[in-house]
Structure 1
Amino acid sequence: MMKNLILFFMMCFAISNAQEILQKYPTGQTPYKGGYEAYYKDFVDIIKEKNLQPCSNPDELYVLTLVVMPDSSVQFVKDVNEKIVDKNKCAYNLARETAKYMKNWSPALVHGLPETAVARFIIYPNDLFNNYREGYYPNYTSPVYNNGRNNNSFVRDFVYKFNKRRFNWFDVFVIQGEFTVTKEGKVKDFVMTRPSGVYEFDKEVQMTVNILSKHFKPATINGKPVDDRFTFLVKGITDPED
């Protein structure tokens, strides 16, 4: 018999690596020398220098995720959500192509020593080709779960709606998933990027997301709603009765 199921839920991005990786830069530090504004300036300069072409779909949006190493080199993080990549292929390619020519990556510093850290850059080609200006930084807001309280209420609502009584085993697990919140605020293209290994359990995760799907507000760029991904991690512990 199962006594309870404890679920912990948080927004994150998980990267498998033997060494510890900072999931974000320390406060006051940026992954590019000169800050994000310098990154986007170099991005536009490379577009012009390499004669790269704009995207035919002006709504494409992609978040480039890199790992910046202590020696200032970078490694691309494989995007496991092929649906998002396919729908934003031009932005995806531009992000990776320009990154190959950039030389001003800046590692995170912890107690004065360089550490490996995750860096993310919002790539909205329509802005970079048509609306770039000195000091540019994308005016972006991420998708938000809003059920009349605040974004953290997703944790409470997910745990409340998840059908814990269907499962009866003792285990500790971590699962990761993501989906697209469309510019209309609808949820689609759910993907388990890190499944539990138990089909019925993963299916219940998706059913719970579907129940909560009507409470999302879309991401925006410059105040304009756009499709964007919502990523989550669930840590669970099943605890049998004494």
Structure 2
Amino acid sequence: MKNVFIALFLAFVSVCHAQILDEYPEKQSFYEGGTVNFYKDVHEYLVKNRFKECDEKEIYQPRIIITDKAEVKFIKDADTANIARNKCAYDLSKEILKNLTKWKPAEVKGWKVGAITEFILYPKDVMSNYQPGYNAARFIIHAKYPEGVKAFDTLFHDNFMTIFADYQLNGKVNLEFYIGKDGNIVNPRIFPEVDNRKFINDFMRTLSRMKKPWMPAFYKDLPILERISFPVNFSVTFTER
């Protein structure tokens, strides 16, 4: 019996360590000392190593995984055109990911787990314009649906009510998408994954028909991508949010 318990415990530990969260839990940071300390270390590293500052129009948002062992992994960016437009900022972000060391895993019930996160790198503000206490998040104007969140909820309901009724799916999931720099919805996905390929195809097809653009997010006066996590409660009657 003791051996069975040990085996189950080890299996539980293995599952916990393999888990990758889609975002950090609220009030947790991906870096020791928090975001302000992260940008302080970025500034000191870039200045100490005499990296050339990028053009003031360049900005990049690396998407990364911090593993349960505090290792950082870069998530490949498929937007090669954006990389080309911001090549200097992109290269600096890769240097930062390789050379900073204070990455911090997420924690769930006392266990360290991997998690996905991202940050904004605007080289000018972490180099020549740097001020103590700098945090890029303070300069973001968030993406907005032109008619407001309630209007988007209603539009979402009107477009998806039939799909929910047809598939009679129950339970909570999250729809994740990005608002691109032009205000369009890009890179949508559902998590946890729904094990029904036909439903996923119908869901994504319907989402693609919601053409009205959002007002994109800005960092100061530069348009940026912004991730939107949209919680949905599936039921035969469908209750959103």
The interval holding the TM-score normalised by the smaller chain is: 0.5 to 0.7
Distance 1:178 1:28 in 2: 22
Taking only aligned residues, the RMSD between alpha carbons, in angstroms, comes to 3.6
Match of 2:222 in 1: 226
TM-score of the aligned structures, taking structure 1 as reference length: 0.67
- Partners of 1:31 and 1:107 within 8 A in 2: yes
- Residues 192, 65 of structure 1: alpha-carbon distance in 2 compared, 3 angstrom cutoff: closer
Please say if 1:125 is aligned against 2:123: yes
Pick from 194, 206, 209 the counterpart of residue 207 of structure 1: 209
Deviation of 1:36 (Å)? 0.9
Deviation of 1:191 (Å)? 4.5
Pick from 68, 80, 83 the counterpart of residue 82 of structure 1: 80
Distance 1:99 1:68 in 2: 10
Percent identity between the two aligned chains:
25
The aligned amino acid for 2:36 is: E
Q: Tell me the SS of whatever aligns to 2:73.
A: strand
Q: Tell me the SS of whatever aligns to 1:75.
A: strand
Deviation of 1:136 (Å)? 1.0
The structure whose residues are more often strand, as a share, is 1
Give per-residue Cα distances to partners, 1:159-182, cap 9 Å, x unaligned.
43x48889xx8698x986545234
Please say if 1:54 is aligned against 2:53: yes
Give per-residue Cα distances to partners, 1:30-51, cap 9 Å, x unaligned.
1111111111111111212332
- Partners of 2:178 and 2:227 within 8 A in 1: yes
The structure whose residues are more often helix, as a share, is 2
Q: Which of the pair has the greater relative contact order for Cα pairs under 8 Å at 6+ separation?
A: 1
TM-score of the aligned structures, taking structure 2 as reference length: 0.67
Q: Tell me the SS of whatever aligns to 1:127.
A: helix
Q: Which moved more, 1:97-106 or 1:59-68?
A: 59-68
Match of 1:106 in 2: 104
Match of 1:145 in 2: 145
Pick from 153, 156, 162 the counterpart of residue 154 of structure 2: 156
Q: 1:64-79, aligned counterparts within 5 Å?
A: 64-79=62-77
User: Where do 5+ consecutive residues of structure 2 fail to align?
Assistant: 1-16, 191-196, 237-241
Match of 1:92 in 2: 90
Distance 1:109 1:192 in 2: 27
Deviation of 1:117 (Å)? 1.4
Match of 1:20 in 2: 19
Deviation of 1:194 (Å)? 5.7
Distance 1:202 1:108 in 2: 30
Deviation of 1:23 (Å)? 2.3
Match of 1:33 in 2: 32
- Partners of 1:64 and 1:95 within 8 A in 2: yes
The aligned amino acid for 1:60 is: E
- Residues 53, 229 of structure 1: alpha-carbon distance in 2 compared, 3 angstrom cutoff: same
User: Where do 5+ consecutive residues of structure 1 fail to align?
Assistant: 1-17
- Residues 70, 206 of structure 1: alpha-carbon distance in 2 compared, 3 angstrom cutoff: same
- Residues 102, 159 of structure 1: alpha-carbon distance in 2 compared, 3 angstrom cutoff: same
